[in-house]
Amino acid sequence: MSNTLLRGEIVYFIDDPAQKGEAAHIHHADGIIWIKDGKIHQCGDAATILPTLPSNHPMTHYPHHLILPGFIDAHVHYPQCDIIASHGEQLLTWLNKYTFPTEAKFTDYSHAEQVAAFFFTQALRNGTTSLASFCTSAPASVTAFFDLAQSHNMRVIGGKVMMDRHAPDYLRDETEQSYDDSAALIEKYHEKWRLHYGVTPRFAPTSTPRQMQLAGKLFQAYPGVYLQSHVAENLDEVTWVRELYPTARSYLDVYEEYGQLGRRSIMAHGIWLDETDRARLAATGTALAFCPTSNMFIGSGLFDLKAAQQHGIQVAMATDVGGGTSFSLLQTLAAGYNVLQLNNHQSFTAFQGFYQATLGAARALALADKIGSFTTGCEADLVVLDYQATPLLERRLQTCASLAERLFALMILGDDRAVAATWIMGRQVYARDISCLEN
């Protein structure tokens, strides 16, 4: 049995701080994580655990660092790495000008593999250990995604985009074949290793009613499978959906009509929703992915976190690369704070932010029994953040009088430079050039 011991300041969550406040998190100013065979065996104060440890066992010590559960990105497009920071379009023009031509290249497995390799490297250097990603309409893009995820032993969700209309000929799939391809990919990858399949209709406008019906059928037919799509991101998009589905009460209602809402369904954005929509999301257990850098960059609007919380909707943070502008969930949290400040000065504490990037995201993705926390039995995915990563961060933290202040400074000032190390299942998979002590 393998044993790994890490020591440093530790924070993790056991509940939602928006509901439970200070009681929602566990903090060990000097703590130890004891990992056995890739899972959390024990996490607690060093003074309590040290006397119980195997004698003379090596321990990795991270002074001046904070150890958190690995970040979880609830919505991202790995094929869009190469169009991040493309200038000046809103959603529908963005798709036609940048996204569709880029995704056309992913019929080639070698190209998809090269992009996926870069994508996962970026995720790990930013402390992201689990994620839910769209692939493209080409099955090769899914194969490359899962192959690379498996090579890193990451717990991920991914799926073939289903898109049989309102897209270029070179990218559209055939309705029935899309169903067959998706079913074959589910059989091959779903719940193999740490992989999960997500049925992936791009969004309601690019699927015919028949394809939406088949996507819902896949979601209902395979136990434990996910469904991921977009909803109410942009006002022009909402108007278009109303024209395409005139009998639907709302954009969200289209997905419900076709059996696509429920536990393990993740809808990205959810900006232009009404109270009935939010009540349906809560009632069905459907989660929302909050994508602040994307929403600001593409000019979509301001997410209403308070309204989602009041309805009891599970919300997770998401980078939404490449509409989103950073792989860093730290920078994404900072953008989330700014969005909520602009939306009626909504409160967004650092505790809420880090919760929604760890345990909150795990709950939204129905994976809280596996990831997102340091409770005994959870998989040992974690990120180590460096309090001295930049001169500005180090100086600012010297004036912080509490954990809440330190976390907030990390959330606002942190980026990939603050990530000292990333661990997957008790194995270090990324390390910046840092000083850590082994004793």
Whether 356 is covered by a domain: the verdict is: yes
* Residue 369 falls inside a structural domain: no
Do 83 and 53 share a structural domain?
Answer: no
Same domain, 214 and 329: yes
Is 221 a member of any domain?
yes
* Residue 141 half-sphere exposure toward CB, CA atoms < 13 A: 26
17, 44: one domain:
yes
Residues paired with 382 in a beta bridge: 69, 423
Q: Tell me which of 345, 364, 383 is where a domain ends.
A: 364
**Rounded distance between C-alpha atoms, residue 37 and residue 95, angstroms:** 44
Evaluate whether residue 165 is within a structural domain: yes
* Last residue of one domain, picked from the residues 364, 396, 423: 364
- The SS3 call for residue 254 is helix
Residue 388 and residue 299 in one domain: no
- CA–CA separation, 199 vs 158, rounded Å? 8
**Mapping DSSP to helix (H, G, I), strand (E, B) and coil, where does residue 414 land?**
coil
Read off φ and ψ for residue 117, nearest 5 degrees. -60, -45
In-domain check, residue 135: yes
Instruction: Looking at the structure, tell me whether residues 24 and 165 fall in a common domain.
Output: no
Q: Tell me whether residue 89 is exposed, middle or buried, using C-beta atoms within 10 angstroms of its C-beta: 0 to 12, 13 to 18, 19 or more.
A: middle
Same domain as 418, residue 318: no
Q: What angle do CA 240, 242, 246 make, to 5 degrees?
A: 135
Q: How many domains are contained in the chain?
A: 2
Which of 364, 391, 414 is the last residue in one of the domains?
364
Tokens of 123: 């995720």
Other beta carbons within 10 angstroms of residue 209's beta carbon come to 15
Q: What is the pLDDT along the chain (439 residues), one digit of tens a residue?
A: 578 999 999 999 999 999 999 899 999 999 999 999 999 999 999 999 999 887 778 899 999 999 999 999 999 999 999 999 989 777 778 788 989 989 999 999 999 999 999 999 999 999 999 999 999 999 999 999 999 999 999 999 999 999 999 999 999 999 999 999 999 999 999 999 999 999 999 999 999 999 999 999 999 999 899 999 999 999 999 999 999 999 999 999 999 999 999 999 999 999 999 999 999 999 999 999 999 999 999 999 999 999 999 999 999 999 999 899 999 999 999 999 999 999 999 989 999 999 999 999 999 999 999 999 999 999 999 999 999 999 999 999 999 999 999 999 999 999 999 999 999 999 999 999 765 544 4
pTM of the full predicted structure? 0.96
416 and 337 within one domain: no
Domain of 405, CATH number, reads 2.30.40.10
Q: What is the pLDDT of residue 437?
A: 46
Q: Is residue 234 part of a domain?
A: yes
Question: Based on the domain organization, do 399 and 299 belong to the same domain?
Answer: no
Give dist(CA 158, CA 71) in Å, integer. 17
The H-or-E segment that residue 199 falls in is strand 195-201
Q: 83 and 61 share a domain?
A: no
Whichever domain contains 264, its CATH number is: 3.20.20.140
Strands 3-13 and 60-69: parallel
Specify the residue for token string 């406040």.
21
Domain presence at residue 370:
no
- Domain co-membership, 327 together with 379: no
Asked if 264 and 343 sit in the same domain, the reply is: yes
Residue-number span of the structural domain to which 431 is assigned? 3-70+375-438
CA nearest 299: which of 391, 237, 227?
Answer: 237
Which of 235, 225, 311, 289 has the alpha carbon at shortest distance from 260?
225
Encode burial over 319-356: b for 16+ CB neighbours within 10 A, e otherwise.
Answer: bbbbbbbbbbbbbbbbbbbbbbeebeebebbbbbbbbb
Is 182 within a domain?
A: yes
